[in-house]
Amino acid sequence: MMVHEMTQKELEDKIKEAQEAYYNSNPIMSDIEFDELWEQLKTNYPDSEVLQDIGNDSNDGFEKAQHIILMGSQNKATKVEEMDAFFKKGEKYIASYKLDGISLEIQYDNGNFVKAVTRGNGFVGDDVSNNVIKMGYVPKVLQDKSFTGAVRGEILLQKSVKDKYFPDAKNCRNMASGISKRKDGLDCDKLIVMCYDVQSTDKSKNWSTETLLNEWLKSNGFIVAPYTEAKTWTGKEAIDYINDIFSKLETIDFDIDGIVFKQQKIDWNDKVSSYRPKTNIALKPKYTQATSILRSIEWKLNNGTFTPVAHFDAVELNGTMVENASLANISLMEDMGIEIGHEIIVVKTGMIIPKIIKDVTTGKFAEGYAL
């Protein structure tokens, strides 16, 4: 979808409205639509202060607490050229799942749990300690008794848990947000926290690489966002990697909305002083997608030509429920091997028209749609 040209104020107002809605569990647009607005603002008005803003997820009724980690966001990319410009020649990077949950900081003093704080405005957030301590994979006492500092992660509702306990919930993220802010802590034990960053209050714990940082997290009882071994990358390899991961989202039991590439060698000055670290970038998919099951195929006559229309289990795409899509012609069906009962991937092209781009059962894509 091409966003029409707007003035700086129009773009800033729309972005701030979308940020507030998103961080308070009431999104008004898809990630792709938001990213297009952001890209237009960054391109046309690079000095806009909004580009340094990360939104605010704080709610009234919770005590506020200061962060130890500067809880900013990631620079974003969607194209080969952007990734090529990011990667430094000869430098190694890990690729980590970009979790689509509720951002959280967990604070420790000499290895003992102190408090847990939401992202808020990046500096101060809501103290949700009483709820977080009930969640899975939040150790009260660390193996490393000398650690004083903070661990950063995301509160997640796993898909399998949502299906079992909250089948009517619109999506995992909104449900996780609502549960994590409950005053009585009900159902917080059904959430987990998955981590990806840590920072001590003294320089003795400044790990030299992302791999060592992740190994410390795992050795102290946290679960870590899945990541690759450190290697050099090209833009094409990065795109191929995200295409592979997003073509099998149905095998991942939690929501992700991209892949974060992190320079293996940690630049601590960059990490502690920037809203958007220069050594990290989030690669986002081109399309909003969902997985469904094909239930029937109807043949419709249009201008003397029969066109197959697929009917599948309803899925949410960009805020609307979708349950059918044109298959264009029989050759498309034959190329993908589509049959009733197969698992399929559906996207919205141009944010408007639903399209089946992959038959998961056969593993075949529609021509030109490798995510």
| C-alpha to C-alpha distance for 172 and 180, rounded to whole angstroms | 12
* CA distance between the termini of the chain: 16
| C-alpha to C-alpha distance for 107 and 103, rounded to whole angstroms | 14
Select which of 98, 271, 348, 355 is catalytic: 98
Beta strands in 58-191 (DSSP E): 64-66, 76-77, 93-99, 102-109, 112-118, 124-126, 149-156
27, 85 Cβ separation under 8 angstroms: no
Whole-Å CA distances, 298 to 310, 311, 312, 318: 7, 8, 11, 25
Q: Active site includes 98?
A: yes
Residue 18, beta-bridge partner list: none
| C-alpha to C-alpha distance for 113 and 123, rounded to whole angstroms | 20
Cα–chain center distance at 21: 16
Instruction: Please compute, for residue 110, the number of CA atoms within 13 A of its CA located in the half-sphere on the CB side.
Output: 0
Catalytic residue IDs: 98
